């Protein structure tokens, strides 16, 4: 979705767009003070607000867990047990939420979604913490896995700029507010496999 929004934003400004690749949102956060990016879209939390400035929320997602094929885990209570291995993408809002939520299970951070996907498929981990929409898609690719019904965190995703970039924040705020109204955001949702998902901004 950020690719579509970034392209439209650059078009409004009449400039080219360059996409800077990072393995996860934690790395994007760490790069906020390095001048490698001008605008990003990522989950918002208090820790990140000390490193960047956020504009409007454009997506709200429910975070939960998917459990491996053959698992006896059916809910959060049976997941949060000693010896249970839960994976999350390292240094992300979802990982911090999982660490706070689970008191007994072991939460380990990995650098990429793809790495965790492989571990879940091979049965080397018991569960993966992520947004429900993404986990539902994953469940279709790994037979026997189950997405738990409960939600442990609501993750809000917003546009952001580095600290001190006040004029940029004013522009991206205006852009996102207009995008919600004029169909740009709806188109970005649709282009990223979310045609059946309502736009959630709060």
Shared domain for 145 and 67, answered yes or no, is: yes
The answer to the question of residue 50 being in a domain is yes
Shared domain for 80 and 146, answered yes or no, is: yes
CATH code of the domain in which 36 resides:
3.40.190.10
Shared domain for 94 and 135, answered yes or no, is: yes
The answer to the question of residue 199 being in a domain is no
Share of the chain above pLDDT 90, in %: 88
Shared domain for 80 and 124, answered yes or no, is: yes
The answer to the question of residue 40 being in a domain is yes
Q: For the chain, how many structural domains are there in total?
A: 2
The answer to the question of residue 181 being in a domain is yes
pLDDT at 36: 95
pTM over 0.85: no
Shared domain for 48 and 114, answered yes or no, is: no
pLDDT at 161: 98
Shared domain for 142 and 169, answered yes or no, is: no
The answer to the question of residue 179 being in a domain is yes
Q: 43-74: per-residue pLDDT in tens?
A: 998 989 999 999 999 999 999 999 999 999 99
pLDDT at 88: 98
Using DSSP's 3-state secondary structure scheme, residue 65 falls into strand
pLDDT at 196: 78
Alpha helices in 33-161 (DSSP H): 46-49, 76-79, 93-101, 113-122, 132-141
Shared domain for 25 and 108, answered yes or no, is: no
Shared domain for 82 and 163, answered yes or no, is: no
Shared domain for 90 and 20, answered yes or no, is: no
Which stretches does DSSP call E strand in 48-200?
52-67, 85-89, 106-110, 127-131, 146-147, 153-162
The answer to the question of residue 201 being in a domain is no
Shared domain for 50 and 120, answered yes or no, is: no
Shared domain for 31 and 68, answered yes or no, is: no
State which residues of the chain have pLDDT below 70. Answer: none
Which residues have CB under 8 Å from 176's CB, separation 6+?
Answer: 5, 55, 56, 58, 159, 185
Distance CA 173, CA 47 (A): 21
pLDDT at 147: 99
137 is in which domain, residue-wise?
61-153
The answer to the question of residue 197 being in a domain is no
pLDDT at 195: 84
């Amino acid at each position: 979705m950020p690719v579509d929004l970034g392209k439209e934003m650059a078009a409004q400004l009449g400039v080219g767009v360059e996409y800077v690749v990072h393995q996860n949102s934690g790395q994007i956060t760490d790069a906020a003070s390095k001048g490698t990016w001008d605008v990003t879209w990522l989950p918002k939390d208090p820790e990140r607000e000390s490193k960047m400035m956020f504009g409007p929320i454009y997506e709200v997602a429910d975070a939960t867990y998917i459990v491996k094929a053959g698992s006896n885990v059916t809910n959060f209570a049976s997941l949060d047990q000693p010896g249970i291995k839960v994976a999350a993408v390292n240094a992300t809002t979802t990982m911090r939420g999982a660490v706070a939520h689970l008191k007994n299970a072991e939460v380990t951070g990995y650098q990429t979604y793809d790495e965790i996907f492989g571990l879940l498929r091979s049965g080397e981990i018991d569960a993966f913490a992520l947004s429900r929409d993404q986990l539902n898609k994953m469940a279709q690719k790994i037979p026997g896995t189950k997405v738990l019904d409960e939600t442990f965190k609501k993750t809000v995703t917003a546009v952001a700029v580095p600290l001190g970039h006040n004029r940029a924040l004013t522009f991206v705020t205006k852009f996102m507010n207009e995008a919600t109204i004029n169909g740009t955001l709806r188109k970005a949702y649709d282009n990223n496999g979310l045609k059946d998902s309502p736009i959630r901004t709060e």
